[in-house]
Structure 1
Amino acid sequence: MFDLLPPDIIQRARRVKLLILDVDGVLTTGQLFMSSTGEIIKPFNTLDGHGIKMLHQTGVQTAIITARSDPAVAARAEQLGITHYFKGAHNKKIAYEQLREQANVSELECAFVGDDVIDLPVLIRCGLPIAVQNAHEFVKQHTVYTTEKFGGMGAVREVTDLIMYSQNTLQIALEEYIK
């Protein structure tokens, strides 16, 4: 799948030490299900979750930067071992700068997956800017890679596989399951 990608994308992915994710529209489809009591329920994709766990095993850190504050997202981040979690980040550039300092990584070592214009301040600064298939068209114009999968439907797994493929760790990680 990744063999046909331009060498520039592979080179960018090879440098990634920190994968940063938006939530709504990236880790989820962007739909919000609301109960009669006003509780918001978000479906997460298990393929994405397992990809994140596999990526952690290769030494790549992960983070979430989201404008919303949602207990479900906090719980999911904890389940997946995502140690950097910035909620209520309406200015994602500030959160991104704080995150880079915490994680001790350069901009070139960061990948960000986004879907909407609020993500642009990070996308235009990171080394590997990625849009999901269902992203706003203006956002796609400012990224170097657009996933084949939609947000919440395996797009994050596609990105984790791309990073591991580029860093020559994907095949090793997959072979662990057939031993």
Structure 2
Amino acid sequence: MEEKAKKIKALILDVDGVMTDGRIIYDNFGDEFKVFDVQDGFGLVLWFRAGLKSAIVTAKKSKIVARRAKACRITKVFQNARDKRAIYDKILKAFKVADEEVCFIGDDFLDIPIMKRAGLTVAVPYSREEIKSLAHYVTKTQGGRGAVREVIELILKSQGKWETITQKYFS
């Protein structure tokens, strides 16, 4: 996996089940709530500081996702993405990257088209078995509880960027 990680220039994420634990909460007024992990968020900021690209590709549409993406410096956001294959092709073109330069983290059937193409594919433990079978790596941490950060650390460490990006926090 380390050899694959060294080539990565772009990170693509599903939201529900990857950036969250997969649960969606509605209140009596119809408002939707999602819970995101601060370690994932900080990991995405470090990813941005490393000069790398990121994108969200999610089948749902939510103002919360757009807000979280902005806070985490995510480069592109695609919501209502039922045809993830077509969106993936747009991302490759926009980011000027090839399949082997993309890491994708997914958890369910709608993610299969990208899981079959990305150079480094990752599933979270709660993923469907079909997704895990396509993954090069299954995270130790759950979606919405640090899985994104875990993957970012693995990639940045394999590329020799982790120490440089984090050293200011230890001095």
TM value normalised by structure 1: 0.94
Is 2:46 the counterpart of 1:46? no
Alpha-carbon distance in 1 for matches of 2:54, 2:101: 12
Is 2:120 the counterpart of 1:159? no
Alpha-carbon distance in 2 for matches of 1:176, 1:127: 31
Alpha-carbon distance in 2 for matches of 1:105, 1:138: 26
The match for 1:175 is 167
Is 2:12 the counterpart of 1:32? no
SS of 1:20's equivalent in the other structure is: strand
SS of 1:36's equivalent in the other structure is: coil
- Which of 4, 8, 12 is matched with 1:16 structurally? 8
Is 2:73 the counterpart of 1:68? no
Residues paired across the two proteins, number:
171
Alpha-carbon distance in 2 for matches of 1:116, 1:45: 20
Alpha-carbon distance in 2 for matches of 1:122, 1:167: 23
State the percentage of identical aligned residues: 37
Matches within 5 A, 1:123-134: 123-134=115-126
Equivalent residue letter for 2:89: E
State the shift of 1:171 in Å: 2.0
For structure 2, the residue ranges without an aligned partner over 5 or more in a row are: none
Matches within 5 A, 1:132-143: 132-143=124-135
Equivalent residue letter for 1:123: M
Matches within 5 A, 1:94-105: 94-105=86-97
SS of 1:130's equivalent in the other structure is: strand
Alpha-carbon distance in 1 for matches of 2:45, 2:166: 12
State the shift of 1:115 in Å: 0.5
For structure 1, the residue ranges without an aligned partner over 5 or more in a row are: 1-8
SS of 2:104's equivalent in the other structure is: strand
Q: Deviations over 1:104-153 (max 9, x none)?
A: 11011000000001101001100001101111111100111000000000
Alpha-carbon distance in 1 for matches of 2:75, 2:50: 15
